[in-house]
Amino acid sequence: MSDPILQTKGLNKSFGAVCATDDVSIDLRRGQIHALIGPNGAGKSTLIQQITGALKPDSGTVHFLAKDVTTASVSARARAGLGRTFQISALATEDTVLENVLLGAIGAAGGIWQFWKPAMNNKGLRARAEDALVRVGLADQAQTRCDSLSHGMRRQLEVAIALTLRPRAFLMDEPMAGLGSDGSKQLTEFLQGLRDDAPILLVEHDMDAVFALADRISVLVGGRVIATGTVADIRSNPDVQQAYLGDTA
């Protein structure tokens, strides 16, 4: 079996007396969607932030593409291919879809804002941005202003921006949040295909989406992984039912 793309080993992170991440070891494998579920305050976002590099673990390691990145910066990890979807607020809402993706492509090429105008006419960057839009199915919206996109399309746009970095893995923290049921269904379908581009570590509360998408699921409760397995394993696990799933299983 191939090495995992992403792996945490024994990650610990406390905030004062709160142990937000308690000895967490998980791995993300090629071609898979690995869902991370658990109640509010379980430590899901804290774990994701230690993987992106936004938070420094107290102890433990993060390996990405077989390299130890535990002390690498957020931007170094991003350049190495660790993609994450951005918050909606990161979109320039008055600009067009294509302009937003181009901004991402400029960042991917190591550029900065002052090169914005020339970048608009840079064929290589434009091609990279247009390619990302094709891959998320937004090519025909290239000239649409972001503020007239549906919530679901905005999420697709965020993925397009992340794709300009040519990610080798994706981290997504509650991408379905704020979407209605149609939007969630649409995004679920879209994520189905995305795992072939790069595996996804997916934090999500929407259990319909999780059960439809996940190749494997890890359940976090009080900072600890209480179970990891397939959808069937997790749905039938009595500890998980008691701690989190209740009736939804």
**What residues make contact with ligand ADP under the rule CB under 6 A?**
15, 18, 20, 38, 40-46
3-state secondary structure of 89: helix
| DSSP string for 154-180 | HHHHHHHHHHTT--SEEEEE-TTTT--
Cβ closest to ligand ADP, residue 40 vs residue 121: 40
Least CB distance from residue 17 to ligand ADP, whole Å? 10
Cβ closest to ligand ADP, residue 41 vs residue 81: 41
Cβ closest to Mg ion, residue 99 vs residue 204: 204
Binding site for Mg ion (CB under 5 A): 44-45
Whole-number CA gyration radius for the chain: 18
Cβ closest to Mg ion, residue 50 vs residue 100: 50
Partner touching 15 among Mg ion, ligand ADP, none, CB below 5 to 8 Å by kind? ligand ADP
Partner touching 229 among Mg ion, ligand ADP, none, CB below 5 to 8 Å by kind? none
Cβ closest to Mg ion, residue 44 vs residue 128: 44
How far apart are the C-alpha atoms of 249 and 90, rounded to whole Å? 35
Partner touching 46 among ligand ADP, Mg ion, none, CB below 5 to 8 Å by kind? ligand ADP
Count of CB atoms situated within 10 Å of the CB of 223: 23
Least CB distance from residue 19 to ligand ADP, whole Å? 8
**3-state helix vs strand vs coil in the chain, percent to 5:** 45, 25, 35
Q: Using N-to-C axis directions, what is the helix angle for 123-136 and 151-163, rounded to 10°?
A: 130
Least CB distance from residue 16 to ligand ADP, whole Å? 7
How far apart are the C-alpha atoms of 169 and 29, rounded to whole Å? 9
Partner touching 234 among ligand ADP, Mg ion, none, CB below 5 to 8 Å by kind? none
3-state secondary structure of 98: helix
Least CB distance from residue 46 to ligand ADP, whole Å? 3
Whether 138 contacts 64, CB under 8 Å:
no
